[in-house]
Structure 1
Amino acid sequence: MAGSRRFRDRTDAGERLAAELRERGVDADIALAIPRGGLPLGRAVADELAIPLDIVVAKKIGAPGNPEYAIGAVASDGSVWRNEDAIGRTDSDEAYFQRRREEEAESARRKAERYRGDRGPPDLTGKTVVVVDDGVATGSTVRACLQTLSETDAERIVLAVPVGPPDSIAALEAEADAVVCLETPSRFMGVGQFYERFGQVSDEEAMAYLES
């Protein structure tokens, strides 16, 4: 693809991210992947940097009649990010937003519990945390994840993604202490266009990366 690298698959992207993190001198203590697509990359980053891997979970809040259009996102602890511009362009009202927020927060909480099993969330006190996903489009779920992590006692929060449009990446730079993004193409149709292989990651496959 002219002007932009393509990644063979998510593991390849994760290995390249780890190399870039090392090159930039990011001394990470833990990698937190966003399920499901972030876990193959998170596993590669964690292995390459010899750090633990865990998860941070958020769910998109979709617009009425168009669930793929994000008007916000909510993390498993209830931390929410609102896309006020998108809300204003849809038929959603505050009652709709709050109802969907509660539903998606519960869904995110159940997913976090299912993935972790008997383990509780990691203690991030004083740690440099690297948040990993397979790419950013609007960045709604990433924003909710960063919001919940900002309320922990983590020392530093670094977002690491292979690809995202310039405007989304620029906006996320205000939400994290640092953002590492390998590609910011001006012509961006979707994350999948920058991968040779970008199949769906099942819950079972994603959870297996946590056990590796």
Structure 2
Amino acid sequence: MSQPPPLSADHVFRNRRDAGVDLGQRVRAAVDSDDRGPIIVLGLARGGPVAREVADAVDCELDTLVVRKIGAPGQPEFAMGAITHGNHVVVNDDIPRRLGVTTAQFDAALARESRILADREARYRAGREPLSLADRVVILVDDGLATGTSMSVAIDAVRAAGASRVIVAVPTGPTDIFEQMRAAGADQVIVSVTPTPFHAVGQSYADFTQVGDDEVVTALERPNRP
């Protein structure tokens, strides 16, 4: 399958499903001739609807990987780091020190996000065990990347779980995300559109309504389309 034509830097997707369909075509073309092992798509939780479309396009299994940002005290959207399954933690350089965050404050934030992560995984999986990643090509999908913190910890986690190859695939992100994700350990990075200048993931979507837990569960439970 040949690669779809590139999108303009100012392209706007209708919604996450539209973005997932486009991304799925690009991923399918990239992995068509890949013989490094069976493929699995992992959707970072809020990227579940996008990941569903990618899994349909590639015709492979879909699972979720919940990643929680560790927000700074009083600034929850300012990520000091992130945590995912298996207590894999990535800290953003020396941000806690520069913000004057004490060890006790960081540990409290980490513990809080660990509890939320466990609750989310239990809800999304509904008792199902995580699928094995050993000797598999893992495609990590989100609805977009800004800082790359969550994706970096995801890469670390799937490497530790024995993935044979790690591909990061997102509909939108800044131009430097390719270099950043490769530095974080990705073997390949696939991005549909790279806005210039890049302000936020939402600028590439006409509808960027927050994804609810029920929508993630539905995406995971829906069987692959033929």
Query: Smaller-chain TM-score range?
Result: over 0.9
Shift of 1:157: 1.0
Per mean C-alpha deviation after superposition, the further-off stretch among 184-193 and 150-159 is 184-193
TM-score by length of 2: 0.87
Shift of 1:124: 1.1
Residues 159/2 of structure 1: CA separation in 2 closer, same or farther (3 Å cut): closer
Instruction: Provide the C-alpha distance between the structure 1 equivalents of 2:72 and 2:178, rounded to a whole number of angstroms.
Output: 23
Aligned pair partner of 1:142 in 138, 141, 151: 151
The residue that corresponds to 1:20 in the other structure is 26
**In structure 1, what residue type is equivalent to 2:200?**
G
Shift of 1:195: 0.6
1:84 alignment partner, SS class: coil
The residue that corresponds to 2:39 in the other structure is 29
Deviations 1:1-44 (A, max 9, x none): 973321111111111111111222354611100112x1111110
Q: Which runs of 5+ in 2 are unaligned?
A: 1-6
Aligned pair partner of 1:52 in 39, 61, 79: 61
The residue that corresponds to 2:4 in the other structure is none
**In structure 2, what residue type is equivalent to 1:178?**
Q
The residue that corresponds to 1:115 in the other structure is 124
Instruction: Provide the C-alpha distance between the structure 2 equivalents of 1:56 and 1:147, rounded to a whole number of angstroms.
Output: 12
Aligned pair partner of 2:208 in 190, 198, 201: 198
**In structure 1, what residue type is equivalent to 2:191?**
C
Residues 200/124 of structure 1: CA separation in 2 closer, same or farther (3 Å cut): same
What aligned pairs does 1:1-212 form with structure 2 within 5 A after superposition? Answer: 3-25=9-31, 27=34, 29-36=39-46, 38-175=47-184, 176-212=186-222
1:173 alignment partner, SS class: helix
Instruction: Provide the C-alpha distance between the structure 1 equivalents of 2:51 and 2:177, rounded to a whole number of angstroms.
Output: 21
Instruction: Provide the C-alpha distance between the structure 2 equivalents of 1:184 and 1:96, rounded to a whole number of angstroms.
Output: 36
- Between the aligned residues of both structures, percent identity stands at 37
CA contact (8 A) 2:66 2:120 kept: yes
Q: How many residues were matched structurally?
A: 211
Deviations 1:102-124 (A, max 9, x none): 22122112211210012101011
CA contact (8 A) 1:33 1:133 kept: yes
